[in-house]
């Protein structure tokens, strides 16, 4: 199997996992940087993640234009992906979702910060991008490159950002990594709301976050990926240096 076929299968599995774990519903999407053409990315046509097959996946240029869409309609919010790949050479996968537990942190000013070791990869503190700041009243959808670039600039070098009244965007060094962080961002938000009801929270310290994040290696990612893939009815592909856990 070539690198491109490998990534197409990874993306199908990623979509099924994110749907099965409740991170995306009928909306939300995951992309990968093209493994042979770094100024392209691979993303499904507009379709619910749970239904996506490898034939649904289309190559896009960073500006969001399709290389060859064969008549398949794109996601309106594909600009999130292109703008982040443009700004972040280290990023090889992007997840955009509306995962339910993160939403309250986007609208209340309560900071989402990791309190569980498994959630350290979400970053020291998850920032909130507010489309209102620069674009005023909109549908909140990232519907062009100007909005995508503003979001990417706000994300900076971080792994995650919330989007006020909308959802979250998560980046990773591989598809497996971005899925891992997305699942634990939802876990983190849910736990923080539960902990807030009990009282004062002792969050992970920045030093703890850094040490734990440095330990999230291929073993960690693959162990979670195999379990989530099987649970979603997919097999884990053997990663023979094709970028799954790079
Ligand atoms: Mn969205």
> Which residues carry out catalysis?
77
Ligand 1: distance of its center to the CA of 206 in Å? 29
Ligand 1: distance of its center to the CA of 201 in Å? 30
By DSSP bridging, strand 29-33 and strand 160-163 are: unpaired
- The reported pLDDT for the residue numbered 238 is 87
- The reported pLDDT for the residue numbered 240 is 64
Structure tokens at 110: 């309560």
Ligand 1: distance of its center to the CA of 96 in Å? 7
Residue keyed to tokens 């876990």: 187
- The reported pLDDT for the residue numbered 239 is 76
> CATH topology for 3-231?
L-fuculose-1-phosphate Aldolase (3.40.225)
Q: How far is CA 87 from CA 80, 152, 201, 216, 227, in A?
A: 11, 7, 34, 23, 32
Counting beta carbons within 10 angstroms of the beta carbon of residue 145, is it exposed (0 to 12), middle (13 to 18) or buried (19 or more)? middle
- The reported pLDDT for the residue numbered 246 is 46
- The reported pLDDT for the residue numbered 244 is 52
Residues 173, 157: contact at Cβ < 8 Å? Answer: no
Ligand 1: distance of its center to the CA of 1 in Å? 33
| Residue ranges per structural domain of the chain | 3-231
Q: How far is CA 176 from the centre of its chain?
A: 10
- How far apart CA 57 and CA 97 sit, in angstroms, is 18
Structure tokens at 179: 């899925």
Q: What is the pTM (predicted TM-score) of this model?
A: 0.96
- pLDDT tens digit at each of 246 positions of the chain: 899 999 999 999 999 999 999 999 999 999 999 999 999 999 999 999 999 999 999 999 999 999 999 999 999 999 999 999 999 999 999 999 999 999 999 999 999 999 999 999 999 999 999 999 999 999 999 999 999 999 999 999 999 999 999 999 999 999 999 999 999 999 999 999 999 999 999 999 999 999 999 999 999 999 999 999 999 999 999 876 665 544
Ligand 1: distance of its center to the CA of 108 in Å? 19
- 56: helix, coil or strand? helix
Other Cβ atoms less than 10 A from the Cβ of 200: the count is 6
């Amino acid at each position: 199997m070539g690198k491109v076929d490998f990534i197409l299968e990874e993306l199908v599995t990623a979509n099924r996992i994110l749907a099965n774990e409740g991170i995306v519903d009928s909306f939300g999407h995951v992309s990968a940087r093209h493994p042979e053409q770094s100024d392209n990315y691979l993303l499904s046509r507009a379709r619910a993640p749970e239904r996506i097959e490898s034939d649904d996946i289309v190559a896009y240029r960073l500006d969001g234009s399709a290389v060859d869409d064969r008549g398949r309609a794109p996601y309106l919010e594909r600009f999130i992906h292109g703008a982040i790949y443009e700004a972040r050479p280290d990023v090889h996968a992007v997840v955009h979702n509306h995962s339910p537990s993160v939403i309250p942190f986007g609208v209340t000013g309560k900071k989402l910060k990791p309190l569980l070791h498994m959630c350290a990869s979400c970053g020291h503190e998850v920032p909130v991008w507010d489309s209102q700041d620069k674009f005023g009243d909109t549908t909140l959808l990232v519907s062009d490159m100007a909005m995508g670039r503003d979001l990417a600039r706000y994300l900076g070098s971080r792994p995650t950002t919330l989007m006020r009244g909308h959802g979250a965007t998560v980046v990773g060094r591989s598809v497996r990594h971005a899925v891992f962080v997305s699942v634990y961002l939802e876990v983190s938000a849910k736990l923080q709301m539960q902990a807030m009801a009990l009282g004062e929270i002792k969050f992970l310290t920045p030093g703890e976050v850094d040490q734990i994040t440095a330990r999230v290696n291929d073993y960690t990612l693959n162990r979670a990926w195999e379990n989530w893939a099987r649970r979603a009815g997919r097999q884990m592909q053997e990663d023979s240096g094709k970028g799954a856990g790079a």
